[in-house]
Amino acid sequence: MRVGLICPSNKIYMPYLSLYKRILDSSDVKYDVIYWDRFGIEEHSEFVYRDSKVGHRRGFVDYFMYSRFVKRVLNENNYDKVIVFSIQLVFFLKRTLIKQFSNNFGIDIRDYNKIIKYFDFKNVVEHSLFVAISSPRYSEWLPKSDKYVISHNAVINDLDELREVSSLPSVTGKISVGCIGALRDLQINIDLIDSIKNDTSIHLNYHGEGDINSRLFSYLADNKIDNVSLTGRYAREDEERLYCNNDIINVLRYNDSINNRTALPNRLYNALIHGKPLMAFEGTYLAELVREYELGIVLDSFESTAIKIQQFFEHFDSREFDKNRVMFLKTVIESNEEFRKTVISALV
């Protein structure tokens, strides 16, 4: 058995890839990771594709060229089964998947993309082994099928892996609000910054690299804002320290797109694993979960934001929060165990 994992980006931006690698390694299944080195940071390999651009953003032609590379790799290697990550790659590889790998491929979906409107995705699903989705709410825009399985963006197998809920700041101390990972959603973060700019009680930290870094940096400089730090890309081994150095984690997204309304980001799970509450925005599935399990703050506007954050910590009960995050993460672990069983059944 030999499996090809077809990825749309650098491995560092696909933490969920480790879910598959762990399953395949434990089952002694050989596999290759085919991926797109969008940032020019990987070692050269026959399975690594690079173009002349640097950054996350790519267009139709870029995906077409990458799909040609993938097809060549598939033709040169004798894979029994493949897993394709992202709707975009499914679109460009759909004929190959149906012709060469019918009932021998899986699909993994972590985000919505409008290209799903322009082909018969349901037909591809019917030829697949399974379709892993990272949010139950994706069922709102996906065709009906019994092949969907939830695969949360969380690499956690046991509650023993949880960090303790750390002591949180007093209302008179400076509160650190962290945004950790690939940075996106410029407008809501500008609105957050404006609502607490130069407030001595709150400091915003942005750790990571994404499409908004340069514009965010310019905005901070142009407006002389001194209670916001933008640090850029970080090493994976520094991630735990960054979570520990913040008091509450920013998972803010406006409910202005299908993806924002229905997706669940890595930051949701990482924050809870590290014992940190969350700050979400009304109208998203993410906010529903934060409210249902009492995992942090749900904002419905940016009026008096600093006061809302301070009041949250005034009434924060670490034991209650710990109980709530355990309750939520138990459901995550159970779902991911079902996902593990599905992958083993399909690929081994």
Q: What are phi and psi of 4, to 5 degrees?
A: -105, 125
- Distance linking the first and last C-alpha atoms of the chain: 7
- Where do the structural domains in the chain lie, given as residue ranges? 2-151, 159-329
Q: Give the rounded percent of residues in the chain with a pLDDT score beyond 90.
A: 86
CATH number given to 2-151? 3.40.50.2000
Indicate the pLDDT class of residue 167, thresholds 50, 70 and 90: low
Asked if the domains at 2-151 and 159-329 fall in one CATH topology, the answer is yes
Q: For residue range 79-130, what is the model confidence (pLDDT) as tens digits?
A: 999 999 999 999 999 999 999 999 999 999 999 999 999 999 999 999 999 9
Indicate the pLDDT class of residue 13, thresholds 50, 70 and 90: confident
Mean pLDDT taken over the chain: 94
Exposure on the CB side of residue 278, measured as CA atoms within 13 A:
32
Q: Report the C-alpha gap between 120 and 108 in whole angstroms.
A: 17
| CATH architecture entry for 159-329 | 3-Layer(aba) Sandwich (3.40)
pLDDT (0 to 100) of residue 42: 87
